Amino acid sequence: MIVQRIINISRLGNNVYKLSLICSSRYNNNYNSTTVSRPHHDLVFNRLYRVQIGCQYHTKTKSDCHIQTSLINGIKIIDCAISLTQFRHYSSSQKTEKIDENAPKNQRPKAQTTIDEEEVNKFASQSSLWWDEGGEFEALHSLNELRVPLIRDALVSKKSLAQYNIASPLEGFWILDVGSGGGILSEPLARLGASVIGIEASEENIKIAQAHLIHDPKIRDRVKYIQSTVEDIAETQAGKFDAVVASEVLEHVSEPQTFVSSACKLVRPGGSIFFTTLNKTRLSYALGIVAAENILRLVAPGTHDWNKFVSPTDLQKLLDDNKFITKLIHGMWYNPISKRWSWSKDTSINYAIHAVKPIVEGNADIWKEQSPLTV
Amino acid sequence: MALRALRKLKFTTRYSQSILNAEVSKNSLKCFAAYSTQEGDYADIVISGGGMVGAAMACALANNNLLKDKRIILLEMDRDKGDFVLSEKYSNRTCALSPATARLLSGFGAWQEIQSLRYHPVLRMQVWESCADAMITFNNDDMTEALAYIVENDIILAGIMKALKSFKDRVEVRYQAKATSYSNIDSQSVSSTKLPYVEMTLNDGSKLRTKLLIGADGMNSNVRKTAGFHTINRDYGQTAVVAILELGDTTQNNTAWQRFLPTGPIALLPISSNLSSLIWTTTTENSKHLLDIPSESFVDAVNDALWHEREKNQIAGQALSVFRNLLQNVFPESQEQCRQLPPTAINVVEKTRASFPLTLIHSSQYVKPRVVLIGDAGHRLHPLAGQGVNLGFGDVECLNEILTKAVQNGADLGSLTHLLEFETQRQRHNVPVMATIDGLQRLYSTDFTPLVLIRALGLHAVHSLPVLKKFIISRASV
């Protein structure tokens, strides 16, 4: 989506503005003749501002018109000639460019709205790998029954009752899904109202995730997948996210220390970080590798390397080093017969950890004044 | 040039359409805008079949606050019947609604509508047989709470449809609409894993895509057949004869009567102070005969079936009296209620005699990715205990709960992970009920002495032991 023209801006409250925009889309012809109207969307278009836009996008031509006026109703618009999804995620156009510079030159813009139909079809056939619920990633699908409520309940507790919308409890939260894969966790979080950015190292996985996402009109504008790593975006996006989730990722990371500190950097003061991973115990070797990979074939052999596993105490230590406060550590058990997960006191195989970044003097954050959602 | 003009025209019509929608309601604007993307219409949930169970499903979902931003479409083959006019005459198709069903229906206002029309409570139930003296009665303490409510089918449907109309901004009911073909519905095909929705073509040629297709299209379910669900069928070789009977000498007509005959059970369900609904399961030849004979002979045949003693088994009778004395000595506190005599039919209401064949259909699975079967589409059973429709309403309640949980977890509505939980819960409940009813049906369809003996003693044991009986009542009313 490209912003063509801003029709009107009205001020709703302290640093909250309502923008009415006309946008054009880069979709193929199918999309060109449709009218999409979207009354409420959160946009972060400057770190200082959280902007609500009410926009009507409709396309007449395929050409992208750049906006001429930059001053409407006395409010200066920094740059509107960038795609909406990028516009939403980065503080300014300069930063957007910065990220693009790091990326390979021949690569397409990464916003999911710019994927073309051909690629959707190509990757849709591969998406069965990730999205077949009885397939290879069955355990990840059913893990949603534990991790989604964990994230939901931890974040929702920060909202006041008046702000709580039962149908989309995570509305207004920005979540970074580290290692988003095929989007198994990103999509449910977006369905709960959160704006999700999934980062993933594999380009193929990103395309699979996008090809699947595009069929869900309700959430496809709230999720964006970026080919990147935590370390890469830690600098530019520091302190941007209400929550950072690294689910079933840590056990694949070679340098957990850097990984954890980068992930921590991305969390805004007052925000949360979540990990789910495998413990480094004899039992986790016996069950997590020998049984799950070689005997029961729950996951492909060679998926996990026991030496990379991190114990909860080590992880908590890493979080302490980054001045995070650990809120809970829960064990998780997988029943291979019922194929369901359940919470447990025993953290010796799988466990989940939730920690928060305290708000302290010095980092007294801008969100505190600007965002209506900050505690 | 021409092409561009055409495109422009297309654009303007679409645009004005959306403006039109915007005026109708803010809500629908949101929906329309978000879904009118590419090929055809989109709904989060499509319910195929607006019968009692399908319409109740629509009401339950519409009444669910968590689903308030979901678009729900109900496809009904029939036309919109408009406001229901209560006829003086009673219909011969009735259901025995359990208290659990009444609770479910009152949750979204349908039970209140039914109460304002016509219903009749059953306070007591008596079951006995023609080959032995054993009998069993059921009633709640003090005979105040109803065991079941007898309601005519068209009144149940009218009550639910009226409740549904009060949710009209939440559920879109499409009358005279049905899907003529489905795609992505069979999990065997490659495309179903490729595209995360079910697509169907409707009889008006339009296309509709959905995340979750609920098949509530009855015993001959098209959804079940197209999706390739494996089913178990049994033709009982029996036919049910229904009629409305006028009873003599009843003061309070609030007992449901059921007598097992070797040819099948005959049941009288009270629908007013002097009328009862007859459901007589019998052989197909006999049913033809019963429909042909004059009213007087039909009434005589009914009374004969309720009262005759010619099939009494001597051995079973003696064994039973021994067993009765024994029980009386071992459990002195056990109940021995006096037997109530069954009523006598004095007349059959004109033009209420009808018949339908009986079959058992059970689908081995209730769910597939993005498809779920509820009600008769998944399981149809013998009308012997009046459980059929209650199982369907139980499906509605359970599916509503499961979908609530799915939404709370942000799950895709059509995802198999939670649909399988629905299947597990419902099969755990439905299969024993179906097996019991099927077993009872077989047990009572013989006059072979050892079996007569076993069932007579068993029935009497249950009747005399309050604990066992309470358990059965509580199971039957869930």
Report if residue B186 sits inside a domain: yes
Q: What is the mean pLDDT of chain B?
A: 82
DSSP codes joined into one string, A207-237? HHHHHHHTT-TTTTTTEEEEE--HHHHHTTT
**Cβ pair A80, A67 in contact under 8 A:** yes
**Cβ pair A91, A46 in contact under 8 A:** yes
Residue A29 clears pLDDT 70, i.e. is over it = no
Least confident of B39-43, B116-120, B378-382: B39-43
pTM of the model: 0.76
Q: Which tokens go with B363?
A: 């689908």
**Cβ pair B144, B91 in contact under 8 A:** no
Same domain, A47 and A127: no
Starting at the edge strand found earlier in the chain, the sheet holding B148-152 runs B94-97, B148-152, B120-122
Mean pLDDT of A55-68: 32
Q: Which tokens go with A277?
A: 């991973």
B67: nearest CA partner in chain A: A167
- Top residue of A60, A145, A189, A338 to mutate, by most chain B CBs within 10 Å, is A145
Mean pLDDT of A237-264: 91
Amino acid present at B440 = L
A55: nearest CA partner in chain B: B33
The confidence score (pLDDT) of residue A126 equals 66
Report if residue B3 sits inside a domain: no
What pLDDT band is residue B233 in, cutting at 50, 70 and 90? confident
User: Domain span at residue A234?
Assistant: 117-357
The confidence score (pLDDT) of residue B248 equals 86
Q: What's the number of domains chain B is made of? A: 1
Least confident of A155-164, B9-18, B354-363: B9-18
Tell me the CA distances in angstroms from B63 to A165, B110, B212, one per residue in order.
Answer: 17, 11, 18
Least confident of A79-83, A137-141, A208-212, B18-22: A79-83
Tell me if A138 is assigned to a ligand binding site: no
Residues of chain A neighbouring B37 (CB-CB closer than 8 A): 30-31, 34, 36, 217
B76 three-class SS: coil
Least confident of B76-85, B154-163, B213-222: B76-85
Report if residue B362 sits inside a domain: yes
Interior/surface letters A107-135, b for 16+ CB within 10 angstroms, e for the rest: eebbbbbbbeeeebeebbebbbebbbbee
Tell me the CA distances in angstroms from A194 to A171, A185, A365, B131, B333, one per residue in order.
Answer: 5, 12, 21, 68, 64
Residues of chain B neighbouring A149 (CB-CB closer than 8 A): 408-409
A196 three-class SS: strand
Which residues, including other chains, have CB under 8 Å from residue B342's CB and lie 6 or more apart? B126, B257, B259, B268, B306, B307
The confidence score (pLDDT) of residue A272 equals 95
ipTM: 0.74
pLDDT tens readout for residues B451-472: 888 888 788 777 777 777 777 7
The residue written with tokens 């920005």 in the block is A174
Same domain, A167 and A311: yes
B370: nearest CA partner in chain A: A133
Report if residue A106 sits inside a domain: no
Q: Higher pLDDT residue, B9 or A34?
A: B9
Same domain, A204 and A284: yes
**Cβ pair B247, B346 in contact under 8 A:** yes
Q: What is the mean pLDDT of chain A?
A: 70
B22 three-class SS: helix
Per the rule left: phi > 0, alpha: psi between -120 and 50, beta: everything else, A48 is: alpha
The confidence score (pLDDT) of residue B222 equals 92
Q: Rounded to a whole number, what is the distance in Å from the CA of B377 to chain A's nearest CA?
A: 25
- Top residue of A1, A24, A25, A34 to mutate, by most chain B CBs within 10 Å, is A34
Tell me if A235 is assigned to a ligand binding site: no
Q: Rounded distance, CA A264 to CA A319, Å?
A: 8
Helices (H) and strands (E) in chain A, counts: 12, 14
Q: Rounded to a whole number, what is the distance in Å from the CA of A297 to chain B's nearest CA?
A: 19
Mean pLDDT of B329-354: 78
Question: What's the distance, CA B370 to chain centroid?
Answer: 23
Please enumerate residues of B whose Cβ is less than 8 A from a Cβ of A. 7-8, 10-11, 14-15, 18, 22, 26, 29-30, 33-39, 42, 65-69, 190, 193-197, 369, 407-412, 415-417
Q: Rounded to a whole number, what is the distance in Å from the CA of A213 to chain B's nearest CA?
A: 9
Residue B178 clears pLDDT 60, i.e. is over it = yes
Report if residue A111 sits inside a domain: no
B149 three-class SS: strand
Q: Rounded distance, CA A60 to CA B294, Å?
A: 75
Tell me the CA distances in angstroms from B136 to B82, B96, B128, B336, one per residue in order.
Answer: 44, 19, 6, 10
Amino acid present at B181 = S
Q: Rounded to a whole number, what is the distance in Å from the CA of B11 to chain A's nearest CA?
A: 5
Q: CB count, 10 Å around CB of B411?
A: 22
Q: How many CB pairs under 8 A join A and B?
A: 103
Which DSSP symbol is given to B443? H
Domain CATH code at residue B281: 3.50.50.60
Amino acid present at A53 = I
Residue A72 clears pLDDT 80, i.e. is over it = no
Q: Higher pLDDT residue, B58 or A371?
A: B58
The confidence score (pLDDT) of residue B409 equals 92
Report if residue B409 sits inside a domain: yes
pLDDT tens readout for residues B397-436: 999 999 999 999 999 998 888 999 999 999 998 888 888 8
Helices (H) and strands (E) in chain B, counts: 15, 20
Q: Higher pLDDT residue, A109 or B279?
A: B279
Report if residue A123 sits inside a domain: yes
Domain CATH code at residue A229: 3.40.50.150
Task: Point out the residue among B18, B68, B410 whose CB comes nearest to the CB of A37.
Answer: B18
Report if residue B370 sits inside a domain: yes
What pLDDT band is residue B38 in, cutting at 50, 70 and 90? very low
Residue B8 clears pLDDT 80, i.e. is over it = no
Q: Higher pLDDT residue, A81 or B458?
A: B458
**Cβ pair A41, A18 in contact under 8 A:** no
Q: Spell out the alpha helix ranges (H) of A75-116.
A: 84-89, 93-102
Report if residue A209 sits inside a domain: yes
Report if residue B26 sits inside a domain: no
Same domain, A301 and A231: yes
Report if residue A147 sits inside a domain: yes
Q: What's the number of domains chain A is made of? A: 2
Mean pLDDT of B341-360: 88
Q: Rounded distance, CA B10 to CA B31, Å?
A: 20
The confidence score (pLDDT) of residue A100 equals 37
pLDDT tens readout for residues B18-33: 333 333 333 333 333 3
Tell me the CA distances in angstroms from B70 to A227, A251, B61, B92, B408, one per residue in order.
Answer: 32, 38, 9, 38, 13
Least confident of A29-38, B64-73, B83-92, B158-167: A29-38
Report if residue B20 sits inside a domain: no
Tell me if A340 is assigned to a ligand binding site: no
Spatial CA neighbour of A168 closest among A141, A187, A189: A189
Report if residue A16 sits inside a domain: yes
Residue B396 clears pLDDT 80, i.e. is over it = yes
Amino acid present at B331 = F
Same domain, A348 and A218: yes
Q: CB count, 10 Å around CB of B473?
A: 14
Residue A104 clears pLDDT 70, i.e. is over it = no
Spatial CA neighbour of B201 closest among B376, B52, B41: B41
Residues of chain A neighbouring B190 (CB-CB closer than 8 A): 125
